[in-house]
């Protein structure tokens, strides 16, 4: 199945997002993308690769219940795609071997793009490719332990900041190690999610590793953005992150654009309100607890209602829901015939932050080779997020 999707040109992938891309969200994306195409008279299977939340390698090996839940998929979910985080080659390799031997997934992505301070300050995430030997060891171990049975891919950023660029060296290392593709987010760790993604870096990486597919990530808010990225960079596919928050039907629109079909229009409010009901119900089912499901749904409310007239009181109440009945009562007050405009729908959403100094271990930038002292530091990065 994964080989069939990889044969799609261009590839469409959901970026793993912590606290967002769980089973419920992935199902909503699949259903919404299919529904919006159906409403436009379009048919066909969904070629998108929907990646689960980041999973910590060590926590997976320890079989933490929360972590095992992250790599649990619906029976009809295919391909099963996970993202692993790790800072130790032996641990990452063992986690990949576990995934393969126990048939836990059909695709493994390696996270080298996380800009979160609690990760980078220990040398993990987007800080790690600076240490070329450590990066090489981890990627090589993962590909080796996958034994050719499960494709291994890499997701990374341009570098730590404008003075410490890593993507060309890291891309070459990953390509030489035999990864299936490299996904590049066109921002540095210092940019976090602010500023504008640098698509020229994606184009340079395409030229730098011509025999390994490159997927582009960053500032894809609409189907035409995905088309422009492919045209401007030569990338083999696109990775969609914040652009699908509150707009899980975006994958269906992008698929239509890539197929040369008429792109389905943005939906009316009724379509969006039904998605909110469905999403909340799926979260409640996933947690086995309506209250916890609704509490998790709160974070999605502002994304879903962006561009809709719902009233300030209703908007505030939606962010505090405790039950599906509460949600239904609030949504019943919203005009279902409102039309979501392109201007609002295609605007940036999600986290935006100004450029800032990246938290790194002391002396991290002094050398691109891992020192003995730094070996213990990076292992703490694994431990700091080992709860899943």
For 215, 277, 341, the CA distances from 164, given in Å and listed in that order, are: 22, 45, 40
In whole angstroms, what is the distance from residue 140 CA to residue 372 CA?
20
Q: Both tokens of residue 189?
A: 């760790």
- Give the CA radius of gyration of the chain: 20
Among 116, 66, 98, residue whose Cα is nearest residue 387 = 66
CA distance 183 to 216: 6
- Token pair listed for 139: 């990627």
Start-to-end C-alpha separation, the chain: 28
Cis peptide before 376 (omega within 30 of 0): no
Q: Are 228 and 191 spatial neighbours (Cβ–Cβ below 8 Å)?
A: no
Angle at 110 between CA 286 and CA 68, to 5 degrees: 30
* Set 29, 114, 244, 294: catalytic member: 114
d(CA 322, CA 330): 12
d(CA 126, CA 255): 29
Closest CA relative to residue 151, chosen from 87, 98, 81: 81
* Known catalytic residue at 294: no
| Residue 97 Cα distances to 92, 194, 259, 347, angstroms | 9, 36, 36, 41
Handedness of CA 197, 199, 204, 205 (dihedral sign): positive
Name the residue among 46, 43, 51 with its Cα closest to residue 16.
51
The dihedral built from the CA positions of residue 125, 295, 278 and 317, taken in this order, carries a sign that is negative
Positions marked catalytic: 114
């Amino acid at each position: 199945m994964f080989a069939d999707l990889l044969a799609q040109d261009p590839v469409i992938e959901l970026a793993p997002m912590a606290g967002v891309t769980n089973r419920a969200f992935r199902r909503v994306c699949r259903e919404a993308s299919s529904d919006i195409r159906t409403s436009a008279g379009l048919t066909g299977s969904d070629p998108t690769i929907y990646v689960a939340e980041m999973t910590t390698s060590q926590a997976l090996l320890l079989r933490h219940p929360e972590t095992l839940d992250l790599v649990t998929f619906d029976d009809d979910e295919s391909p099963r795609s996970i993202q692993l985080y790790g800072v130790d080659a032996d641990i990452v390799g063992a986690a990949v071997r576990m995934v393969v031997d126990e048939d836990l997934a059909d695709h493994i992505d390696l996270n080298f793009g996380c800009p979160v301070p609690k990760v980078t300050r220990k040398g993990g995430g987007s800080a790690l490719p600076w240490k070329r030997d450590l990066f090489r060891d981890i990627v090589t171990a993962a590909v080796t332990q996958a034994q050719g049975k499960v494709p291994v891919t890499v997701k990374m950023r341009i570098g730590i900041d404008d003075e410490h660029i890593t993507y060309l060296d890291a891309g070459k290392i990953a390509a030489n190690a035999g990864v299936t593709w490299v996904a590049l987010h066109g921002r540095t760790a210092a940019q976090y999610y602010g500023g504008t993604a640098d698509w020229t870096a994606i184009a340079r990486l395409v030229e730098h590793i011509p025999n390994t597919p490159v997927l582009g990530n960053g500032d894809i808010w609409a189907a035409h953005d995905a088309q422009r990225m492919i045209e401007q960079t030569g990338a083999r596919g696109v990775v969609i992150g914040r652009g699908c928050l509150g707009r899980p039907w975006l994958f269906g629109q992008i698929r239509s654009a890539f197929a040369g079909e008429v792109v389905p229009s943005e939906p009316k409010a009724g379509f969006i309100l039904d998605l909110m009901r469905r999403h909340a119900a799926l979260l409640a089912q996933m947690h086995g607890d309506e209250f916890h499901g609704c509490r998790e749904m709160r974070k999605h409310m502002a994304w879903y209602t962006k561009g809709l007239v719902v009233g300030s009181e209703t908007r505030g109440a939606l962010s505090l829901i405790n039950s599906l009945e509460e949600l239904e009562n609030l949504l019943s007050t919203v005009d279902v015939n409102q039309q979501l405009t392109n201007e609002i729908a295609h605007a940036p959403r999600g986290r935006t932050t100004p450029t800032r100094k990246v938290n790194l271990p002391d002396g991290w930038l002094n050398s691109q080779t891992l020192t003995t002292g730094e070996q213990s530091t990076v292992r703490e990065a694994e431990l700091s997020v080992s709860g899943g």
